[in-house]
Every structure is written in C-alpha cells, then in structure tokens.
Structure 1
Amino acid sequence: MSFKKEYDLICVGGGIMSATLALITKLLKPEMNILILERLDKVAQESSAAWNNAGTGHSALCELNYCPEEDGEISIKKAIDICTQYETSKQFWSYLVNKGLLKNPNEFIATVKHHSWVLGKENATYLENRFHAMKDHFMFDSIKFTREINKMKAWFPLIANDRTEDEIMAASRIDRGTEMNYGSLTEKLFSILENEFDTPVHCNMEVLDIDPDTDLDWTVEVRNLKTKEEYQLEAEHVFIGAGGGSLLLLQKVEIEEKEGYGGFPVSGEWLVCTNEDIIKQHDAKVYSKAGLGDPPMSTPHLDTRYIDGKRQLMFGPFAGFSPKFLKEGSNLDLFKSIQFDNIPAMFGAFWHNLPLTKYLIEQVLMSKEDRMNSLRKFVKNANAEDWEIMVAGQRVQIIKKDEFEGGILQFGTEVISSKDGSITCLLGASPGASTATSIMLEVIEKAFPELTNSIKGKQLLKEMVPFYKTNVTKELFDEQLEKSKVSLRL
C-alpha cells in the first residue's frame, strides 16, 4: 500500500458523510487530491450500514418530533428545514444518475408511504392540528388525515385490522415517502470516487492523531491495522466523519472550538420479523409518538425495509447502553472522552436529563417479552416466535457547554470547525444520512470557500442541487420533486 505525502483533503471515516463530501469536492475541482481512511475492513459498516439505522428518508413526513406543539400551536419550521435538506440530497443523487455516474437507484431508494399514527383523544387532536398546519404549506400539501378505522385498514392493515370502533385513533399519510439503504448508496458513492475520480479509499487504517504541522497543514498519523505499519501524512484540510468515533479524534486536535464538547453513547436494537406472511401484510412506514418524557430517538415505528433486494419488516427502536462510541469500538471510549474541559458540560447534561437516564435503564432491563409488548401496541396479536432481536448501530449524542445549565444534550448533528476551516468534524446522529448533502455543503463552504464562491462553482452547485442558496418556492419544489421522482425511478 502506498501513499502520497501530501493531500488537499483527508477524510477520516468511510461513511456517507465522507463519501458525499469527497464526491462534491471532486465534482467542483477534479484535480483535488483526496484520500479516504476507514478503520474497518469495508466502508459503510457503522452508522451507514443498512441494519444500523432506520432506513427512513427523513423528510419530516411522518416524524412527529419535528412538529412540536408550542403554546397550543403546531410549529412546522423544523419539518420544513428537514424536508428541504432531504430533497436537496435527492437532487444530488438525481444529478449523479443523470450524469451516468450513479447506477441502479432502485438498489438504494424505494417508495414506501409515510404514516403517522396515534392513540388517544389528546394525541388524535394533536395529529389533526399538525395535519392542518402542514396542509397549508406546499411541501406537505398532499398530506391526508383520517380518524376512520376503515381508512387505516387500507393504509396499514397489519396494525388496524384487529382494532375496534371504540378505540380513539388518528393517522396521516404522505404517499411520496421513501425507504433508504444508506449502506448501498455509500458503497456506490465510494465506487464513483475510486473508479471515476482516482480517489483512493484505504480500509484497515486507524487514525491515531491529528496535529498542526505548519500554519497551512495538518499531520495525520495513521496505522495499518493489518501490517502495524505507521505513516505520517500531510493534509491542508481534514474532515473527521467517523460517526461515534469523531469525538475522540476531535479531542486530540489542537483547536479552541473543540472545548467543552462531550458525548453520551446510546446503542439500539430492533425487533425484526422472520415470518414472510406477516412481512407481506405491511407496506408502509408508520411512526407514532414517543412516550411522555421519553427522548425523540425513542419514537416507535413499524417499518417496511428493502435491504439487499429483500423486503423486511422491523419495529423499534429500543435503546440500550454501551460505553462504546462505535459498534466496533472500545469499552473504554466513554471514559476516554471525559476530559477536564468537558466535565461541567457532562455533569450538567446528566443532571438536567435524569428522565433520559431512567428511560435508558428501563430499556436496558427489558426482556424480549417486554419488547414484544411494546410491539403489541402496534400489532395486537404479534407472536414472539415471528420476531427476533437485532442489534443496531451505536450513536453518540452531543453534549455541549451551556451558560445556564452547564451542559445540554443535543439530538441533532453539528459541524465543529477551526477558524480557518482547515479542519472540520461532524458530531451527532439523527437525521444524519438523509441530510448528508446539505451538511457537507456547509463543510465545503467552511473548508473551500473559493470553490463555492467562484462563478463556475456557483453554477455547478446550482446544477447539482437546485435548492442551493435559493428561496424554495412551490413551483421550484414541485418541479424538482418530479425530476427526482423520474431520475430515481420512484
């Protein structure tokens, strides 16, 4: 294995974020010298792997936590932001398909209708109010709503068929929802980089440290996990997109902006159906509301999935606790992340999130029968013999300093960068992969402003993602939605 001595950009981590960043950068400037480093023996094995995430094209069509109720009013601001970002990703993938770079989109994206479904009078009222708020906005004007059990039986029979007329329920539906295999997409993006843009992707490479070399460069210390050889590489820019492992690497980097950040690891599990007859009865994504006081990541959903050409059905997520920051990480990760500068933030976040601690303890102690009882709130007569537990990915929720509470726990994603933009790091989890294009455009703006500010760069970005730096109108939204539908064969 050979390396060049100097690179314009080194991306740490072989997930969808690094793949998206490297590919957009190469499209903007093909002569850019880029290297990808992945610790495992294949790309897309952690957060991007198909079974390690929900596979939902997160566009706020069914996720109720994106539409909070504030002072009796439903706010859809976050829903609009998330929808815009996901459609931006679809535009980029469509661009790649139309250029002949990205083949067989049906291997990573499929149409699966998105539903929200709730039980109880108060929840049904909330869902109806959300429906009216969303119906008035052009991004969601195709939304449907019902309180009728017969309509729900048509939408998601596996859930509704065993219900009775006296149960108070409500549901909404948007037909254009999508199901994603982010692992397959990530592999395809890296294949484009390697085969079309001569960008090396080296696996089994562990990044040990990242140190400033000169005012312009970073020294990236790397170890080959197979041969144990170590290398020192130079890079003008470094992107840390190593999922849960990003925090530990960021803490080794000598920049002020990293101070005070901590992380709280949360593992996940699914109940996966093994009965083909049951799988065939459900062709939908159905999201409900998180329990009172439960975190947004606990939102229960029953999902149709398409993984490696096979239709699947899963329910969850169930949270667990592991001190590891990656599924293939170390049990010492959490301990190693605690440093003098983030102790106040870690303690503050813990103190102000005691309900989360209680929730995680309860989740860890759940037996399979407890999990089945949660599923039976959706599928009343679910049989334990038809479902098996599958361990999903590991997530690290961001903890950051807060003037008033010491530290706060964040459930989104955040880009940390040095003042000059020469090193950037992505922390956080959901909605993650769905919004990868928008997040990586933000990274490029910080790291390579000359690419996004040039006339040529602006024109190319408009071609790649028509929503970029544009006021999204109904006409533009509808036009691009239809184009993506055709290009991605939805």
Structure 2
Amino acid sequence: MTIQQVDVLLVGGGVMSATLGTLLKRLDPSLTMAMVERLDHVAHESTDGWNNAGTGHAGYCELNYTPQGDNGVEIDRALTINANFEISLQLWTTLVGNGGLPEPSNFINTTPHLSFVWGEDNVAFLRERFEKLSAHHLFKDMEFSDDPDVLRDWMPLVMEGRDPSEKVAATRVSYGSDVDFGSLTRNLVAQLEASEQFELILNHEVDSFKKLGSGDNQGWHVELENRNGGPCRQIEAKFVFLGAGGGALPLLQASGIPEADGYGGFPVSGQWLVCKDPEIVKQHHAKVYGKAAIGAPPMSVPHLDTRIINGEPALLFGPFAGFTMRFLKKGSKLDLLKSVSPSNLLPMMSVGINNMDLTKYLINEVRQSHSERVASLRDYFPSCKDEDWTLAQAGQRVQIIKKDAEGKGKLEFGTELVACKDGSIAALLGASPGASVAAQAMIEVLETCFAEKMEQGWGEELKKLIPSYGQSLVENGELLAEVRDNTLSTLKLG
C-alpha cells in the first residue's frame, strides 16, 4: 500500500482545521497538507450554520462571561474574549482584501448584540456590568437603557406585550455580528483546494496512530479507514492537528501521548426553536442574550437571535441543552463509554458525582414538550405562538474534564490546546467561545508547535495577516481603534 507523505495532516473539516490550514499556507506555501473528514463534506458538524449560535462571541452580550464575584462584576474574561475575536476579524478582513474570502455578507452580517434582564437585582447587575465594561476601550461603544421606549426601538418583539410595570434593562453594541461559520469554512477550504499542495480526503476517519522517530524524522504514521468500504489509506505526516470538535478527545487518546492522560469529556447536546416566517423574522434584528437558569451550564444562556445562514434569514431561540452519550452529532452512542480509561476514570467519576444536579437539569431539558419550550421563549417574545416555531437539533459539545490539584476531576467550559512535548501533534478540546476565536486558538498552535519557525520569520509574516499580532489589544487602545476601524469598514459591520 502506498504511503502518502505530507508536512501537515489536518483531522476534521471544521473551522479550526480550515483556519490553521489557511494560516500555514499563507506562512509557507510550499507545505504539503491533507485534510481528512469522516463525512461527505466539510463543515457539517459543530461548524455547520444550524449547529451553533452563529454569534461572533465578543463578550458584548454574553452575561456568563462577566460573573458576579466577591468584588462585584468581573470583566477580565470578557476583555480577553473580545480581544481574541478581534484577531479573527482581522484575519477575515485581510482575506477579504486579498481574495481569500468572498464578499463579507456571504459569511458575516451586522447583528446588534444585546443583553436583556428583568427584575431589580438583575437590572442592578446589568448596570454595574455596563459601567465597568464601557469604561474600557474595548467596550466604549456599549449603550445602556432602562427606558421602555428605547428598548422598544432596540428590540420590538421582546418588548411587545410585556407588562409595563416590569423593571427591565438592556445593553447594546450596534456592530455585533452573526457569523455563518459553515459558509466561512467552506470558503476557506475551497481556497486551500486551489493549491496542488493540498488534498481534501472525505468519507475517511482515523483508524490508528503510530509515532515515527524523533528529531528531524519526528512525525506520525496515520491509517485512515474508508467509511464507504473502499481501501484504507496510509499517511505519514510531520505534524498532525486534531481539530475534530467533540471527536478530538478520542483521537487524542488514541495517539497515546502522555499529555493526554487524565482528560475526559462531558458531552452536551442542544436544540433550537426556529422561526422562518418572514413577517415575524423581519420584526427582530438582534441577538438578545439573557441570564442562564439556576443550575444550567454556561453554554445554556438563553438568547433570541437573528440568523442568516446560506443567505436565508430566520429567528432562533435556545439553546435547550440535553445529556447525550455521543461526542459528535453523527457519532456513536458508545462514544462516552469508549473514552473512559484508567488515566481519566477518577476525574470522570468525580465530575459525575459532583455534577448530578447538572446531569438532572440536562435530562429534564430533553424531556420538555414543545409548549414548555415555547413558554421559555415567552420571556423574550411574550406574544409568540407555538405553531410559528419548530424544533431543530444543534451540534454536540464536549466539555473538558481534567484532573484538579487533588488528582480528582473538574469540569471546564472553555477551550484548551493539548500538544505533545516535541510539537508533532496537537488537539483542541472544549467548546465556547469556540469558532469565534479560531484565529487566536490556531495562533497558539503555531506558537506551541512551530516555535522555531515563528522566530525565524513566520511571526513577521503573521503580522501581514493580523496587524495587531504580538501586541495587546486589551492594553493598547490606539491600536484597537486602528484595527477595529479597518475591520468594521472592510467587513461592512456597523
């Protein structure tokens, strides 16, 4: 059997692999690359437009990024996420400018980001959040109002039919965005396919890994199974990236690298209520986020969103989370059980025991009737009707389980890069904010696994793609103003 030789093997056809492939091809066009995807086309799992919220996560509206701490509202995570999203915007801006991406409306559209709350305590929380965030240059354009007339202008469906005596408040950033990550990814992969140095391998999945040599000969022998029953393929790659979403954890475990020890996964499913009635859709143009229910995971923050997917407008409400055994939407019910190993058994048991309330919450979410889900929607759209909304399945998310300081387990709700010591293989685990910060996440891969090349010139080349690279947008307000003006103008936001 012929063994194919490549410099880079990208496992998974989602936004992370597409972004890393794009960066590597721009930094060194001579690199040979292959992307392997288990389905018959790319961007069909969590990256697909209907499998995620499509929010350009910038911390503008997501209240779970600004928790209430001992000293009041904490904003550090929101600042970091906002700055990281600006990295993605800069990359997309450069690619639009040089033909690497199409006209921006194909994948990103202006959709104001609003946070909406009701009740005295929640209004006080939102006002404090606004005061702290708007004092920072990253959030200087944020608006706050508790005036019902202003709020009716911002979000008429949300205010229609609401009790006028109810205390409500909202914040707004007018240049928030809705992102069709599926369209974005398909366009990035199409650009990669235009190169003779790149091959897209569909309907194949990784069957086994074998480490090769060390030093200049380091790399991996990877065997691919043909899911259509054809012959297997074998690839030897100097570097392997596992960007397979929920499927990245089993692949990381199969690699056998010691850095994977102790990691487990907590799978969470999701569902949306969707409305495509043009008369209703045209009355709402925003992403309106509220506060999560007590006991709900952070990713279950309810929101009523404008969506534009493949050019088609719609409204989406949710997510309604649920418990699942699958790591991928088109995965196996045995995924969770197969992921249990001697190294992660204790952390997974610990998380399971300490998060029984969360598990019960997720199971109860799955059991809800259509009318019960629509009743939740009425907190954000009081006059909605059951018959105008249908239920759609979202993508799977696998939250990270890892060892804590005591060797037990803790549940993480972010993303994390796991790489072997020699930098020959890396995996991205976790979920939110996910796709929105793909550029920053893949820069971390470059800095971790290609450190020598970054020092030898890739770092300077990266500045041509992302002008702020190497500088802090959290600390440098003048730099932020310069790059933000360019991104908002080029991407036609605001």
Q: Does TM, scored on the shorter chain, surpass 0.5? A: yes
Match status 1:438 vs 2:437:
no
Question: Could you say which residue in structure 2 is the equivalent of 1:463?
Answer: 464
Q: Cα distance 1:282–1:210, how it changes in 2: closer, same or farther (>3 A)?
A: same
Residues 2, 234 of structure 2: 8 Å contact kept: no
The 5 Å alignment of 1:277-426 reads 277-404=279-406, 406-426=408-428
Whether 1:489 aligns to 2:492 is yes
| Structure 2 counterpart SS, 1:252 | helix
Which residue pairs with 1:9 in the alignment? 8
Deviations 1:370-398, CA, capped at 9 Å, x for gaps = 10110011111211100000011011111
TM-score (norm 2): 0.97
Distance in structure 2 (CA, Å) of the matches to 1:250 and 1:320: 25
Q: Distance in 2 between matches of 1:282 and 1:341?
A: 49
Q: Secondary structure at the residue paired with 2:164?
A: coil
Deviates more, 1:212-221 or 1:297-306: 212-221
Corresponding residue SS for 1:115: strand
CA contact (8 A) 1:89 1:436 kept: yes
- The C-alpha deviation readout for 1:445-480, integer Å capped at 9, x for no partner, is 1221122112x3222111211221103211111111
Contact 1:352 1:405 in 2 (8 A): no
Aligned residue for 1:189? 188
Q: Deviations over 1:21-44 (max 9, x none)?
A: 111011111111111000000000
Could you report, residue by residue, the CA deviation over 1:330-385 in whole angstroms, capped at 9, with x for unpaired residues?
Answer: 11111101111111100111122222112112101111111011001111121110
Mapped partners of 1:426, 1:135: distance in 2: 32
Identify the residue that residue 20 of structure 2 maps to in structure 1.
21
Residue number in structure 1 paired with 2:143:
144
Name the amino acid aligned to 1:295.
Answer: P
1:148, distance to aligned residue in structure 2 (A): 1.1
Q: In structure 2, what is the equivalent of residue 94 of structure 1?
A: 93
Secondary structure of the corresponding residue to residue 483 of structure 1: helix
Larger CA deviation: 125-134 vs 357-366: 357-366
- Whole-Å separation in 2 of the counterparts to 1:354 and 1:398: 16
> 1:3, CA displacement in angstroms?
7.4
Aligned to 1:129: 128
Residue 223 of structure 1 contacts residue 229 of structure 1 at CA under 8 Å; is this kept in 2?
Answer: yes
Give the drift of 1:162. Answer: 1.3
| Counterpart position of 2:226 | 224
Q: Residues of 1 paired with 2:458 and 2:261: CA distance?
A: 33
The code of the aligned residue for 1:310 comes to E
Tell me which moved more, 223-232 or 180-189. 223-232
Secondary structure of the residue aligned to 2:241 is: strand
Any stretches of 5+ residues in structure 1 without a counterpart? none
Q: Does 1:263 align with 2:265?
A: yes
| SS of corresponding position for 1:5 | strand
Give the total of aligned pairs: 488
CA distance in 1, matches of 2:193, 2:3: 16
User: CA separation in 2, counterparts of 1:25 and 1:291?
Assistant: 42
- Structure 2 distance, partners of 1:108, 1:54, is 14
- Note the C-alpha offset of 1:124: 0.6
| Aligned equivalents of 1:3, 1:284: Cα separation in 2 | 53
The CA distance in 1 between the partners of 2:66 and 2:85, in whole Å, is 16
Q: Which amino acid aligns with 1:143?
A: M
Deviation track 1:40-77 (CA, whole Å, cap 9, x = no partner) reads: 00000001000000000000010011111211421111
Structure 2 CA distance for aligned equivalents of residues 405 and 233 of structure 1:
37
CA contact (8 A) 2:65 2:77 kept: yes
Q: Aligned-pair distance for 1:214? A: 1.8
Residue 248 (structure 1) shift: 0.9
- The residue type paired with residue 430 of structure 1 is S
RMSD: 1.3
State the one-letter code of the partner of 1:334. Answer: L
Q: 1:196 to 1:483 in 2, by over 3 A?
A: farther
Contact 2:90 2:487 in 1 (8 A): yes
- Report sequence identity in percent: 45
What is residue 235 of structure 1 aligned with on the other side?
237
Alpha-carbon distance between aligned partners in 2 of 1:232 and 1:198, rounded to the nearest angstrom = 17
Q: Which residue of 2 aligns with 1:212?
A: 211
Structure 1 partner of 2:480 = 477
- TM-score, normalization by structure 1: 0.97
The CA deviation at 1:197 is 6.0
**Aligned in 2, Cα 1:22/1:387: closer, same or farther, shift over 3 Å?**
same
Is contact 1:348–1:405 with CA below 8 Å preserved after alignment?
no
- Residue 251 (str. 1) matches residue 250 (str. 2): no
Is the 1:250–1:425 Cα contact (8 Å) retained in structure 2?
Answer: yes
Letter in 1 for 2:355: N
